[in-house]
Amino acid sequence: MAKKPVQFRLNGDEKAAFVDDGQNLLDVLRRGVGDLTPKYGCGQGTCGTCTVLIDGEPRLSCLTLAETVDGHAVTTVAGLADGATLHPLQDAFMCHFAAQCGYCTPGMLIAAKALLDRNPRPTREDVVEAISGNICRCTGYEAIINAILDAANAASGSSYARG
């Protein structure tokens, strides 16, 4: 079966890959261009650990047909930090010990970024809603919710916006 060429912008860098018919974006990110930060969880759209941003919208990369990102911008958790400087959300996750096994963390961070990009002053209810598609089996969510709220409180609009 013929492969299709796909070009997209990944965390600010131009990427090109040949994708198979029916191949999902997660597979292309992990095996095609070597970004191992989005994780494969359920493959059913239930756990959220493969969440990425496509043109700023949260999407499940395991359920995204790879060829549909041609010409679009993809952001993974690898694109959050500015060099050695962590993104405010990453700082807050560390401060609040919001990761244990860490498997859900990439999806949680991206879901949180999608929320704060749209709503820099979320309520607790907003945060719960924003991560409602992401499953964590370790922390019980409280530390994650507190970290996201703390990142929103600590980072006023301009400093948060650097992510």
Partner 1 sequence: MPVRVETYAGLDEAAGALAANSAARFFAGGTLLMRAINEANPSFDTLIRATDPALKEIRLEGDAIVVGAACTMNEIMAHRELAFLAPVARGIGGPAVRSAATIGGNLFAWSPFGEMTTALLALGATIRFAGHGGQVAIDEFLSNRDRYRGQIVRSVSVPRISDPSAFRFLKVTRVKPKGAALISIAVRIGRPGSGETRIAFNNMNPVPTRALAAEQALQGGSLDEASVSRAASLATDGMNPPTDALASDWYRREVAPVHLKRVLLGRT
Q: How many residues bind to partner 1 according to rule CB under 8 A?
A: 31
CB 136 within 8 A of CB 144: yes
Could you say whether residue 62 binds partner 1 (CB under 8 A)?
yes
**Binding residue for partner 1 (CB under 8 A) from 5, 18, 36, 65?**
65
* Amino acid letter, residue 33: V
CB 85 within 8 A of CB 53: no
Q: CB under 8 A: which stretch of 16-24, 78-86, 92-100, 136-144 binds partner 1? A: 16-24
Q: Which is nearer to partner 1, 51 or 90 (CB)?
A: 51
Smallest gap from Cβ 50 to partner 1, in A, equals 9
**Binding residue for partner 1 (CB under 8 A) from 17, 28, 131, 155?**
131
Could you say whether residue 108 binds partner 1 (CB under 8 A)?
no
CB 89 within 8 A of CB 109: yes
Could you say whether residue 63 binds partner 1 (CB under 8 A)?
yes
Q: Which is nearer to partner 1, 95 or 133 (CB)?
A: 133
